[in-house]
Copies of this chain bind each other. A is one copy, B any other.
Amino acid sequence: MPGVGVIGYGYWGPNLVRNFMSDTAWRVVSVCDRSESRLAEVGRLYPTITTTRNPEDLFRNPSIDAIAIATPVATHFELAMAALRAGKHVLVEKPIASTSAQASQMIEKAAQRKLVLLVDHTFVFTGAVRKIRDVISDESFGELQYYDSTRVNLGLFQHDVNVMWDLAVHDLSIMDFVIGVSPVAVSATGLSHVRGQPANVAFMTLFFDRDIIAHINVSWLSPVKIRRTLVGGSKRMIVYDDLETSEKVKIYDKGITVTETPDDLRKLLISYRTGDLWSPKVNETEALKLEVAHFRNCIDGSEKPITPGERGLAIVRMLEAADKSMQKRGEAVELEA
């Protein structure tokens, strides 16, 4: 039974620990955090787990096979590299690292040591996102046309990363998982309303090498919470509203039909198709529960990583390009193939 250590017990760490604990095929060995009071809480809830303020204690602990990292982004690289060097498998919170260069090094190191490097793109493990991928992959969806996501609410302002690295990272990782094609360029705009702080409002457009367009609207400064994604196909369209308690995914039998007239191309006849709506029941298992099981299965070789370091790298490249574009007020920045 593999042993796991968790670094970071702030916002996300407690969820990781709870899920590792409730997975009877994991052994939770140790939790590391800088805060004594948080460690005390770990001790109170889980008396069997040892705690420490020093991550080195985890790296050199032979009963720990895997490390989960849930610390601020800026520390991901250093902690993950140390863990990999110590021969530990790594699950790291999104975004995988602060730069694509760091992410590449992490991937290289994991490959070299034959270790699993998984990035915690949590939404990819939800029933809703998996259902969306199934729907898009099916022939009945037609050609993908657009992906348009809005993820806004009031707070929490981050001091170290802008709103794209905090919120759009979710949309990018979902998009990356469900559409199966990669963008070739990014245009982004945004603004900070607090002097000297990272942008708290941002709008991204992603270009592709075919007739697809993607758009992401993120904000920490909206009076209402919106978590809505529209995905258009030539035969079907999807509305994914993560705030719906039931009916998160709605599939519309809607679209346009273009009839070309050979004599006069300008006289294309566009007609509208409006049919039934279907909202499939989606698996409601907690995403993190599936994710910690998947991490285990990747380690024992029974599954291939769904969100390997490479996907983390791809997302970070999009975010870096978006940052550059935002500096230039929306000028498109190419993404490497």
Chain A residues with CB under 8 Å of chain B are 45, 47, 145-146, 148, 150, 152, 154-155, 157, 159, 185, 187, 189-194, 196-197, 201, 203, 205, 207, 211-213, 215, 217, 219, 221-225, 230, 232, 234, 237-239, 243, 245-247, 252-256, 258, 265-268, 270, 272, 274-281, 325, 328-332
Residue of B nearest to A265 (CB): B196
Residues of B within 8 A of A196 (CB): 265-266, 268
26 A-B residue pairs with CB within 8 Å:
A45-B45, A146-B191, A152-B230, A154-B274, A157-B270, A159-B266, A159-B268, A189-B207, A189-B330, A193-B211, A203-B215, A215-B217, A221-B256, A222-B230, A223-B230, A223-B237, A224-B230, A225-B245, A247-B277, A276-B278, A276-B280, A278-B279, A328-B331, A328-B332, A330-B330, A330-B332
CB neighbours (8 Å) of A272 from chain B are 154-155
Whether B223 contacts A201 by the Cβ 8 Å rule is no
Query: Which residues of B lie under 8 Å from residue A329 when comparing CB positions?
Result: 185, 187, 207, 331-332
List of 10 A-B pairs having minimum Cβ-Cβ separation, nearest first: A187-B330, A223-B237, A223-B252, A189-B205, A329-B332, A277-B279, A330-B330, A191-B213, A157-B270, A331-B331
Query: Measured between C-beta atoms, what is the minimum distance from A86 to chain B in Å?
Result: 31
Distance A190 CA – B255 CA, assembled complex (angstroms)? 18
Residues of B within 8 A of A267 (CB): 159
Q: Which of B45, B234, B325 contacts A330 (CB 8 A)?
A: B325
Q: From A185, A194, A234, A267, name the one whose CB has the most chain B CB atoms within 10 angstroms.
A: A194
The smallest beta-carbon distance between A187 and chain B, in angstroms, is 3
User: Quick one: which of B187, B253, B254 contacts A187, CB cutoff 8 A?
Assistant: B187
A238 CA to B213 CA, complexed, in Å: 29
A103 → B minimal CB distance (Å): 25
Closest to A213 in B: B191
Q: Measured between alpha carbons, how far is A256 from B222 in the docked complex, in Å?
A: 10
